[in-house]
Structure 1
Amino acid sequence: MTEDFLHYAWRYQHFNSNHLQTTQGQNLTILAIGEHNRHAGPDFLNARLRIEDTYWAGNVEVHLKASDWLLHRHEKDPAYANVILHVVLDEDQAIYDPNGERIPCLELRRLLDPNLCSAYYRMLNNNLWVPCQNHWQEVKTLSVKLWLERVMVERLEAKTELVKRFLDFNQGDWEEVCYQLLLRNFGLSVNLDPCEQVARSLPLKLIGRHRDNLLQIEALLFGQAGLLEPDFVEKYPQQLQGEYRFLRQKYGLEPMAASNWKFLRMRPANFPTMRLAQFAVLLYQGSNLFSKILAAQDVEELANLFSVTLHGYWSEHYTFDKPSTRKLKHLGSSFIELLILNACIPLIFYYGMYTQDSKYCDKALRFLQELPPEANHIIDGWKKLGFEPEDAGQTQALIHLKRMYCDQRQCLHCAVGAAILK
């Protein structure tokens, strides 16, 4: 038995509530279970009860054993002074409030439905890819979609934590935040951190002084990335190296170690050299990216902001001093969709939260639904269960559902899991 299960049983009143009595034999009527509290303090706030002929309003605390009250030191916490009912599996000890009055206790062990308990144990302890996958199809499609909409927002809110961290670090400079967030995501999952390190070491305002010179922008990015240290054979990397040495001395820059970058088992198109060269062109092509992202009216307009093609040296190289077949290299549609999904949409959504302007939050959610569904191993797993996502909003929700609910066995906090148990 888990405390989470008792929370669930109390929240949905999944126990025999006929002729309830406290452990002291007092008649108990539940008028309102209270509001589930996910923060510090009692588990359910503003509950209403009748014990014998007295009406009570206050909070409810849930534990497996009554003695957990003392184990958690609630007797020393003023937040628990207004607990009017202690709900437990077993009352192994009487608990008293600060005034010396015994706190009424409801013991659930004999009131719980054995079938419900068995179903919960089976769901909690199986080794299936999704704990409830054998019953997934039993839940109404509308219920699943409504839950996914809520989980989609949860996923987006979780992603905005990074935007908040960047905004705090940059003291409210949104353009700098946008630049750092985009460069971080140019690294994909493998080189996220090195890209972020380059962005933090190379302020956008400094790059802005050289905005009209692509060679210097590249030199700054590659130099700070630690990729201009070798003795090059070809003329172009030698030029970059010379530019960076001058700019490094001018601005007092310190490059990172080249060993931070990962090239192995990567497609050449995703090499960090490719992504840094493309990001340099993006900065060269225009300024005020954050303002343009905010102003975009649809995903197509957003995607056009990232229309980048490499010419010259990079049309016949994927990395320095190693020629390849000549080819114009541009940001592919799938890569741009990832940028929009992981950088632009969280940025727009958090800006709406920060400014308390719901139109930006609504726009971010709309953009999620305009993007096509993602393709990855988690989504493949859901498809095998018969769920075909309609857009990126649903795939983001399914990823969050799998990682944060299914893998963590948080079935009681999931509307689908709760519906199956019910």
Structure 2
Amino acid sequence: MREDFLHFVWRLRRFRLTELKTTTGQVIEIVHPGQHNHHAGPDFLDARIRIDGTLWAGNVEMHLRSSEWHAHKHQDDPNYNNVILHVVLEEDVIIRHTDGERIPCLDLRNYLPVGLAKQYLRLLNSEQWISCQQQLYTVPEITFNLWLDRLLVERLEERTEELAKRLDRNGGDWEETFYQSLAWGFGLKVNADPFLMLAESLPLKTLLRHKNSLPQIEALLFGQADLLEEDFTDDYPRQLQQEYRFLKQKYQLQPLSANHWKFMRMRPANFPSVRIAQWATLLFRTGQLFSKMLVAQNLREMENAFVVELSNYWQTHFRFDKASKKTTKTLGKASIHLLVINIIAPFIFLYGKKRGADIYQERALRLMEAVPAERNHILAEWKALGVNIKQAGQSQALLQLKNSYCNEKRCLDCAIGCSILKRNPDVMEEDVLYLPTWWLASAAEATSKEA
């Protein structure tokens, strides 16, 4: 058992409300439970509680054991001076305000329905892939779908936090920030960080000074990537090498180390050399990438913007000086869709949030719904449970659900978990719950770790 269970039953008043009394016998009437506080301070703010006929306005604090008040140092925090009721599962010590007055205490053990508590304990102690695996089918479809919609927004908001920090570091320059973020996406999982470092070492405005020359853009990118320091035999890399030496001096550039790049155990089409060549061609075709994404009317227009045809040299090479069978090496739709999911949609969402323009946030959500769902082991597990996943909005929401809620046992913060608990047929039975000593001990231990 965790403290969030108390928050749940108090917030929704899922306990017997008749004949409520404090541990000293005072009659309690809950006029208003207060507003759930997710920040520092008491658990519920601005509550209205009538105790022995006197209406009190203030805050409510909750613990599994009353002694946790001292364990959490609330006696030293002035934010707790206005606590009018202490809600616990066991009053093992008497708690007083700093002036010595005893804080009224409600022991919920005498009022909790057996069915609700047992259902919660089953969820909390489940060893299955998700706690509600056996009850998932009982959740109404509209509840499930609305929760996924909310989780998609939550995931986009989390994604934009780092983007917003990078935007601030770049002085509010959207194009520069998008260029760096898209570079990270271009590197895929293995070379994402080196790609970001490459973009940060070579400002977009420097590249745009050479927007009419693909060889110069490639020279800058490959040179900064430290991939032009060999004794080449092919004419093209030697040309880039010579070009970069001049540009390096001109712009006082400091290249990365070639050791950052990973080629091992990768498909040749995803070699960093090929991805950098694709990146260079994209920048050569469209310097102001973010502006183009903002005006794109649909997913197809975005896909078309990333269709790049590499130069003749790269059609017959995966690496410098190593000829191969001729291939076009265009970005596949799957790679473009990953960029849309991980970079473009979150960026458009952030733009709308910063500008106060809901149209862009809505466009980002619609964009996610237009992209096919990704494939990975987590989504495969959801499908095995019978969840139909058609588009990326759903798949991203399900990833958020698994990683941020199921793995953390946040059933009471989840609309699915709450739905299961609310629909429990035994939830309002009048029997009270017997809480064994071992259960309270384990609950206190879990709470101390969380604190």
Q: TM-score range by the shorter chain?
A: over 0.9
Secondary structure (helix, strand or coil) at the match of 2:88 reads strand
Q: 1:3-39, CA deviations, whole angstroms, 9 ceiling, x for partnerless residues?
A: 1222222222232322111112111111222222212
Q: 1:244-267, CA deviations, whole angstroms, 9 ceiling, x for partnerless residues?
A: 222222222111122222222222
What is the correspondence of 1:234-249 to structure 2 with a 5 Å cutoff? 234-249=234-249
Aligned to 2:278: 278
RMSD: 1.5
Deviates more, 1:243-252 or 1:280-289: 243-252
Q: Distance in 2 between matches of 1:220 and 1:79?
A: 57
Give me the identity figure in percent: 53
Aligned to 1:376: 376
What amino acid sits opposite 1:314 in the alignment? W
Q: CA deviation at 1:294?
A: 1.5
Deviates more, 1:242-251 or 1:151-160: 242-251
TM-score by length of 1: 0.96
What amino acid sits opposite 1:206 in the alignment? T
What is the correspondence of 1:90-239 to structure 2 with a 5 Å cutoff? 90-239=90-239
Q: Distance in 2 between matches of 1:321 and 1:21?
A: 84
Q: Distance in 1 between matches of 2:146 and 2:204?
A: 41
What is the correspondence of 1:16-95 to structure 2 with a 5 Å cutoff? 16-95=16-95
Q: Distance in 2 between matches of 1:166 and 1:235?
A: 39
Q: Which runs of 4+ in 1 moved over 6 A?
A: none
Q: CA deviation at 1:404?
A: 0.8
Q: CA deviation at 1:302?
A: 2.0
Aligned to 1:346: 346
Q: CA deviation at 1:201?
A: 0.8
Q: Distance in 2 between matches of 1:306 and 1:378?
A: 28
Q: CA deviation at 1:405?
A: 0.8
Q: Distance in 2 between matches of 1:207 and 1:332?
A: 25
Q: 1:326-364, CA deviations, whole angstroms, 9 ceiling, x for partnerless residues?
A: 011211111111111111111111111112121111111
Q: Which protein has greater RCO, CA pairs closer than 8 Å, 6+ apart?
A: 2
Deviates more, 1:335-344 or 1:121-130: 121-130
Aligned to 2:295: 295
What amino acid sits opposite 2:83 in the alignment? V
Q: How many residues align?
A: 422
Secondary structure (helix, strand or coil) at the match of 1:58 reads strand
Does the 8 Å CA contact 1:303/1:340 hold for their aligned counterparts? Answer: no
What amino acid sits opposite 2:223 in the alignment? G
What is the correspondence of 1:4-23 to structure 2 with a 5 Å cutoff? 4-23=4-23
Aligned to 2:427: none
Aligned to 2:414: 414
Q: CA deviation at 1:46?
A: 2.0
**Structure 2: runs of 5 or more not aligned:** 423-451
What amino acid sits opposite 2:60 in the alignment? V
Q: Distance in 1 between matches of 2:296 and 2:24?
A: 65
Q: 1:58-93, CA deviations, whole angstroms, 9 ceiling, x for partnerless residues?
A: 221111221222222222223222222111121122
What amino acid sits opposite 1:18 in the alignment? T
What amino acid sits opposite 1:93 in the alignment? V
Does the 8 Å CA contact 1:311/1:329 hold for their aligned counterparts? Answer: no
Q: CA deviation at 1:196?
A: 0.8
Q: Distance in 2 between matches of 1:3 and 1:28?
A: 21
Q: CA deviation at 1:49?
A: 1.5
Q: CA deviation at 1:243?
A: 1.6
Q: 1:131-181, CA deviations, whole angstroms, 9 ceiling, x for partnerless residues?
A: 111111111111100111111111110100121121011011111011001
Secondary structure (helix, strand or coil) at the match of 1:181 reads helix
Q: CA deviation at 1:282?
A: 0.7
Q: Distance in 2 between matches of 1:115 and 1:249?
A: 75
Secondary structure (helix, strand or coil) at the match of 2:89 reads strand
Deviates more, 1:74-83 or 1:276-285: 74-83
**Structure 1: runs of 5 or more not aligned:** none
Aligned to 2:330: 330
What amino acid sits opposite 2:265 in the alignment? R
Q: Distance in 2 between matches of 1:18 and 1:379?
A: 46
Q: 1:204-226, CA deviations, whole angstroms, 9 ceiling, x for partnerless residues?
A: 11111111111111111112222
What amino acid sits opposite 2:75 in the alignment? E
Q: Distance in 1 between matches of 2:63 and 2:415?
A: 23
Secondary structure (helix, strand or coil) at the match of 2:64 reads strand
Aligned to 2:441: none
Q: 1:221-247, CA deviations, whole angstroms, 9 ceiling, x for partnerless residues?
A: 112222222222322122222222222
Secondary structure (helix, strand or coil) at the match of 2:230 reads coil
Secondary structure (helix, strand or coil) at the match of 1:49 reads strand
TM-score by length of 2: 0.90
